[in-house]
Amino acid sequence: MDPRLVRLAQQSRNFGFLLADLPLLVAYGAAAESHVFDDPNTSLIKSRQFGEALAEELVSRGRVRVEGSTQFDRLKALDREGYLHGDVGNAFHEVRTLGNDANHKGHDSAEDAFRALRTCFRLGVWYHRLLTGSREQLTFVPPSPDRTPAARNARLADDIAAARKALEEARLSYRDQASQAQVEQAARAAAERELAQAQAEREELARQVAAMQAQLAAIETAAGQERAHRHRADATSTAAASAAVAERARLLDNAEQASREPLTEAQVRSKLDEMLTQAGWYVQDAAFGLNLHVQGDRRGSGVAVREVTTARGRADYALYVEAKLVGVIEAKREGADLTAAETQANGYADHLTDAQQRLVAWRTPLPFRYVSDGGETRFRSTLDPDSRTRRIFSFHQPRTLARWMRQADEDPQAPSYRARLQLRMPELDERPLRPAQITAVQGVENSVALGRGQHGMGQSRSLVQMATGAGKTFTAVTFSYRMLKHARAERVLFLVDRNNLGAQAFAEFENFTTPDTYRKFADLFNVQRLGAEGMLASSKVVISTVQRLYMELTGRNLPDAAPEGEGDEADLPYDVPGDIEVGYNATIPPEAFDLIIVDECHRSIYGKWRSVLEYFDAPIVGLTATPVAQTFGYFNGNLVSEYTYREAVADGVNVDFSVYEIETRITVQGGVIAQGTVPVRDRRTRRQRYEDIAEDIEYGAKEVGVGIISKDQLRTVIQTFRDRLFTEIFPERAKRDPDTGALLWDDMYVPKTLVFAKNDNHAEEIVEVIRDVFGKGNDFCTKITHAARKPAERLADFRNLPQLRIAVTVDMIATGTDVKPLECLIFLRDVKSWAYFEQMKGRGARTLSLTDFERVTPGVGPKTRFVMVDAVGVTRKPKVDAAPLERHSDKQISLEKLLRKTAAHTIEEEEVSTLASRLAKLDLQMTSEERAEIERISGGVPLKEIVHGMVKAVSTDEQLEAREAAERVGRDPERAVRDLIEHALKPLAAAPALRTRLLEMRRAKDILYDENSRDALVRAGAAVDDEESAQATVRDWKQYIDDNRDEVAALTIAFGVDSDVPPAAALRRLQDVARSVARPPRFWTPDTLWKAYENVGEALVRKHAKRTAADLLALLRYELAGGAERGVPAPRPHEEAVRERYAAWLARQEQSGVSFSTRERWWLDHIVGATIERVRFDTADLDYAPFTTRNGTDGFLAEFGANRAEEIIDELDKELGA
C-alpha cells in the first residue's frame, strides 16, 4: 500500500478508520473534508465519489445483480437485496443528489458540503460495521470554518454546533463520576480537546490530500481490479464461490444492526429497563422503594434491582426471583467490549457479600449472568455443563428462571436441559429405527447436548441430511419424544415449508407409538398445528410455517390450520414486501421453545424470514434431503448425520430409478400458429371460443404449456409413453396373447404415474389427452392441484384406489407429500433448481411393503424401481445450487396477485414494471369494444394511459426528479418516490370493478391453441451418458482439484511409500474427500467420475466394475501430473493396477528362483486383498480378520521368519503402491 495513503489515514480523524476496509474511501473522504469550507463544490463532488465507490464495492462484495450502471441502479439493487436498512438508503441518495448538483449545476454551498461530508462519515461508519460487525462508537469530529467565508453562514454554524453537541454526548461516561454535572463537564472537556487537535492538524491534512491527488487514479484502478478479480474467482473457483456465499450471508446478518447508531451509556440503561419490564421484571432502585415480594403476572414474580453492591463491586442490576437472588446484569455502552463485561458479571456473581450468601442467594455462585449493551444481549447459565455464553433476543422471563430453579432443585446432578441431555437420556431403543435413523437421533442428541454448531454466540445448530423417503419425520419425532420426556424440554417447534405439509407432520406425531410405554405420542404430549386459537400454553409440540409463526408473534389474526391437500392462501406469501421485523412478544417469549426442527424449510432460513427463527433462544435442527451451500453455511458445517440417496437405495430404504427420454420436434423447437381462426380458452372457466388472428404467431419451446397449448405435442408425448410403457419402460410387466402376441391391456395395471405440468390449465389439457390416449375415464386419471376441487380427497384416492393410475400436478405433490406406490414420474415442465428437482424426484423413491403395494397395484411383485420419463430435457439441463427462494420472474407471478397487491398498496417497484408489461400486452389483444368498456369503467382513462403512467413512475429519470424535488423542500425522498408510484397506480387501486374486468379479459385471452401443427417424435429411449455431459463433469472435477491443489497434493503424498501418515489415517482422509464430493450439488461418486473419464476417452472402459474411494486416488494422481494434456498414461482402476503389479512381482520372484508355498501364498494373496481395499497395507491389519484365523502377526512371523517377513512387507508396500 502507498505509504502516502497510510499517512493520510493517520491524519484523517473522520475517515482514517476505513483504510483496512477500502483505501479509496479514505482518499475521497479526506479530500471532501479538506475542501469542505474553502472549495465546497469540489468537496461535494468528492462526497459523491465516496458514495459511488462504497456502493460499487458493496455490490461486488455482496454479489448483487444490478440492472443498469448508475448509482441509482446500484442503490436500487442493494435495497432489493436487503442491505439498506433504516435511513442508509436516504443517506446514499442525499450524497448522490448533492454531488450531482455540484457536478452538473456548479452547486457550491458550504452548508450542503458540510451536510454531505457528515453523511459520508455516517456511511463510512455503517460500511465498517457491516464488514466487521463492530459496535464501537465512532463519532464525527466536525472541522471548523474559521478564517473562511463559510464562518459567516448562520445555518452552517447551527449544523456544526449540533455536531459538536453530539460529540460531547458520545463522550459521556458514568464510570468513576460522582454526579451528573461532573459527567457532563468531563465529556465537554474531552470533546473540546478533540476539536482543538483536529483544528491544529487541518493544514497538515490539506497537504496530505494534495500529495495523494496524483495517486488517486492508481488507487481507483486497484479497487476496480480487486472487484474484477473477485468476480472471476467466483465464476471459476468452487472454493471462492462457497466463500462468497458465506460472506454474503455474513454481510446480510450484519446489515440491520449496522444501520443503527450504537446507544450511549444513558440510552443503554433506559433500553434495559424497557426490556426487563417487557419480560415481566419489576425494575427498582436499591436505595429506595425496594420490595422483593411484588406479585407478578403470568410472566412470573421477578425484581431487577439497580446498582446492587457485591463483594467485587457494584452490579448494574441484580435479579431476584420469588425474593431469591439468582443472577446479575452488567450493562455497557453499545460497542464496548462485552467479553470484558462478562468477566465483570462473573466477578459479581461469584463474589457476593456474606449477607447476600447467607440470606437471599438461591445458590452460590449465582447461576444466571447477563451482559448487554442494549443492542446485543448475552447470557450464560452455570447450571449447564461446560457452560458458555450465547446471544439472546432479550432477557428471560422470571417464570422461566423459576422453572429452571425448580428443575435444578429436583435433580441437582443434572440441573439444566443440556445437563439432562448428557446425563439422563436412556439408551436408544433401536428396534423401530433403521441404522441411518439411529445415527441421526444419536447425532442430534449429542450435538444439542454439547452445544455444537453455534452460530456466532447463538444456540447450537445441527443438520441432518437424509435421503427423501428415509424417514426424516419419524426420526424427528423420536428425538423430540426423548427430549420432552427425559431431558424435560418445555416445548418443540416443528417448522414446515407449506401449511398443507403440517397435516402430514401432525399425523406422524399423533400416531407415533412410544417404544417404552407403547402409548400414542398425542396421549402423552399435546400436539398442535398453529391456527386461529394461537399457541396453546398446554402444547408440547407446535407445528407451523414460518409465516404463521410470524403472524402469531406480531399479533395478527391466524386462520385455521388447513387439512392435507388444501392450499396456503391464508398464509402470508414468502415474498411479502419490506423487512420482516419481530419485536418482543410476552406471550411467546424467545425461550418459548427448547428445540426447533426445520423440515426442508429453505425459505425459512435464508433471506428475510430467518429473523423469525433468530428471535428464539433454542437449538435448531435442520432436516433435509437437498442441502445447498447456504444450508451448510447456516448450520455452520455441523452435519451430524449423512444418509445419501445412493446409501438409501443400497439399504433398500429407497428404490433406484432409470431415465426414459421422449423428445419431440415442438418440445425442442416450438411451432407456428397459422393466421386465421384459432381456439382461445378462458383460464378460469375453461370456456372455449374462437378468434381471428391477422398474422402467424411463432412460439418457442418455453411457451409450450404456458401461453400456447399444442394438442399434438401433448398427444405425441403421451402416445409414445403408452406405446413404449410395456415394451421398453416396464417390459417385465407385459402380458401378451399367446396366439397373436398382442398386449393384453385389460390384464395389466399402468404403474402409478405422476405427471408434472407447468400450470393448472396445462394440467387440465394433459388430463384430457391422457384419458383419450389410454381410452379411459375420470377414474383412471385426475388432476391434483391446489386449484382442483377437494384436492385432499383426490390425493387420498390416488394413494389408495387401484383404478386411479395417473395424477397430474403442478406443485402440490412436488415436495413433501408421500404417495409411496408411485413408479413413474413424467416431466412436462422444466426445473431450474436442483434442490427442487431432487425433491420432485424423491416422490418416486419411496418403498412400501408388498402387501400395501399389491393393494393398489396387484400382481406385479414388490416395487423395485421407478422411472423418470423426461419429455423436456430436465435431467440433462444444468441446475443452480441455490436455495429455492427466488424472486418472482415476469412469468411466475400471476396478474391476479399483482392486482391484489396493487389494491393493498403492497406491490413492489419491480412488480409495477411487471404489471405494466402484462397490461400493455393485454391492451394489444383487446378489441375496440373492450377498450371502450375499460375506459368507461376507469372513469374515462384509457388502459394505455394507465400503463404509460406506471412506466413513467418507475423510470429512473422520473424518480430522480421526484427525489431531488423532495430534498429541496425537506421531504423524505423515498416517500416521494412511493407517492409517485401510488399516484400512477391509483386508477387501478381505487377501482375494484376495473381490476375484476381486466382479470376476466386476461383469463379469456391468455391461452391460444395450436390445433394445426403436427408434432413428430425425434427420439425415445433410455437415457444414455452423452459425451457433452461427461466433458462437463471432467472439467468441473479438474477445477475442483485446482481449487484444492494443496490439500489434494498432501493427500496423494500421504499414500506414498515414504509417508509418515499411518495408512488408516490416510484412508480416512481419502474417504472424507469421497464423501464431500458425493454431496449435492456435485453428486460425484467414484462410479460417475470414472464413467465420465471413460466417455471422454481418458480411461479404458471396464464394464460391470464397481468403483470405490480408492479409485479416486488414481484420478487425483492423474490430474496432478497434468492429465491428457501432458501425455500422462490413462488412469487405471485401483484393483486392476494392484493385481497386475502383484502378478508382475510374483513373476520376478519366480525368475530369481524364489517360490512360495500354498500357505505362504495365502498370506500374500490376503495382503494384496487388504491393499486393494485400503490402498496401502498397514501391518496393524495382521491382527484383524482374515489374518486372525491364522494367528495374526505371530502366525505371519512364524510362516516367513522375522527378517524375511519384514522384507516381504516392505517390498510389497513399494511394489503394490507404485
* 3-state SS, residue 645: helix
Task: Place 478 in a pLDDT band, splitting at 50, 70 and 90.
Answer: very high
At 424 the pLDDT is 96
At 910 the pLDDT is 75
At 1024 the pLDDT is 62
Q: Which range (332-336, 394-398, 572-576, 1144-1148) has the least confidence?
A: 572-576
DSSP 8-state symbol, 1130:
P
Question: What pLDDT, in 10s, does the model give residues 409-464?
Answer: 999 999 999 999 999 999 999 999 999 999 999 999 999 999 998 866 778 999 99
At 1126 the pLDDT is 77
At 882 the pLDDT is 39
Task: Place 1204 in a pLDDT band, splitting at 50, 70 and 90.
Answer: confident
State the average pLDDT over residues 703-732.
Answer: 86
Residue extents of the structural domains in the chain? 3-143+204-258, 265-415, 427-650, 749-870, 895-1010, 1025-1132, 1137-1216
At 881 the pLDDT is 43
At 909 the pLDDT is 79
Res 732 pLDDT > 70: yes
Res 1008 pLDDT > 70: no
At 544 the pLDDT is 93
Which residues is 753 bridged to in the sheet?
Answer: 806, 824
Helix, strand counts (H, E) of the chain: 47, 27
State the average pLDDT over residues 165-187.
Answer: 66
**Secondary-structure class of domain 427-650 per CATH:** alpha beta
Alpha carbons 471 and 457: distance in angstroms, whole number: 31
At 884 the pLDDT is 31
Query: Per mean pLDDT, which of 134-138, 460-464, 1117-1121 is the most reliable?
Result: 460-464
At 885 the pLDDT is 29
Res 341 pLDDT > 60: yes
Percent of the chain with pLDDT over 90: 32
Res 1171 pLDDT > 50: yes
In Å, what is the CA distance from 1148 to each residue of 462, 1138, 1153, 1155, 1167? Answer: 55, 15, 9, 10, 18
At 889 the pLDDT is 38
Res 578 pLDDT > 60: no
Q: Specify whether the CB–CB gap between 1175 and 1067 falls below 8 A.
A: yes
At 658 the pLDDT is 86
Of the two residues 497 and 544, the one the predictor is more confident about is: 544
Task: Place 319 in a pLDDT band, splitting at 50, 70 and 90.
Answer: very high
Residues in the chain: 1218
Task: Place 1068 in a pLDDT band, splitting at 50, 70 and 90.
Answer: confident
Q: Which range (152-156, 277-281, 351-355, 949-953) has the least confidence?
A: 152-156
Res 480 pLDDT > 50: yes
Task: Place 629 in a pLDDT band, splitting at 50, 70 and 90.
Answer: low
User: What CATH number was assigned to the domain covering residues 265-415?
Assistant: 3.90.1570
DSSP 8-state symbol, 398:
H
Res 239 pLDDT > 70: no
* Mean pLDDT over each residue of the chain, to the nearest integer: 84
Q: Specify whether the CB–CB gap between 959 and 977 falls below 8 A.
A: yes
State the average pLDDT over residues 515-521.
Answer: 93
At 173 the pLDDT is 66
Question: What pLDDT, in 10s, does the model give residues 245-302?
Answer: 778 878 887 888 888 888 877 788 899 999 999 999 999 988 777 899 988 888 889 9
In Å, what is the CA distance from 494 to each residue of 22, 542, 566, 605, 622? Answer: 43, 6, 19, 14, 10
Res 113 pLDDT > 80: yes
At 251 the pLDDT is 86
DSSP 8-state symbol, 534:
-
Question: What pLDDT, in 10s, does the model give residues 970-986?
Answer: 777 778 888 899 899 99
3.20.20.70, 3.30.420.40, 3.40.50.300, 3.90.550.10: which CATH number matches 749-870?
Answer: 3.40.50.300
- Fold: same for 427-650 and 749-870: yes
Question: What pLDDT, in 10s, does the model give residues 1030-1061?
Answer: 787 888 888 888 878 878 888 888 777 677 78
Percent of the chain with pLDDT over 70: 88
- The dihedrals phi and psi of 361, each to the nearest 5 degrees, come to -70, 135
Res 343 pLDDT > 90: yes
At 1121 the pLDDT is 81
State the average pLDDT over residues 585-601.
Answer: 92
Question: What pLDDT, in 10s, does the model give residues 522-573?
Answer: 999 999 999 889 899 999 999 999 889 999 998 888 777 665 545 444 455 5
CA 404 to chain centre: 33
Which residues is 314 bridged to in the sheet?
Answer: 309
Which residues is 867 bridged to in the sheet?
Answer: 658, 824
Query: Per mean pLDDT, which of 190-194, 340-344, 1111-1115 is the most reliable?
Result: 340-344
Q: Which range (318-332, 490-504, 583-597, 1103-1117) has the least confidence?
A: 1103-1117
At 880 the pLDDT is 46
Full-model pTM = 0.67
Q: Give pairs for 1137-1144: CB < 8 Å, separation 24+.
A: 1138/1168, 1138/1171, 1138/1172, 1138/1216, 1139/1168, 1139/1172, 1141/1215, 1141/1216, 1141/1218, 1142/1168, 1142/1212, 1142/1215, 1142/1216, 1144/1215
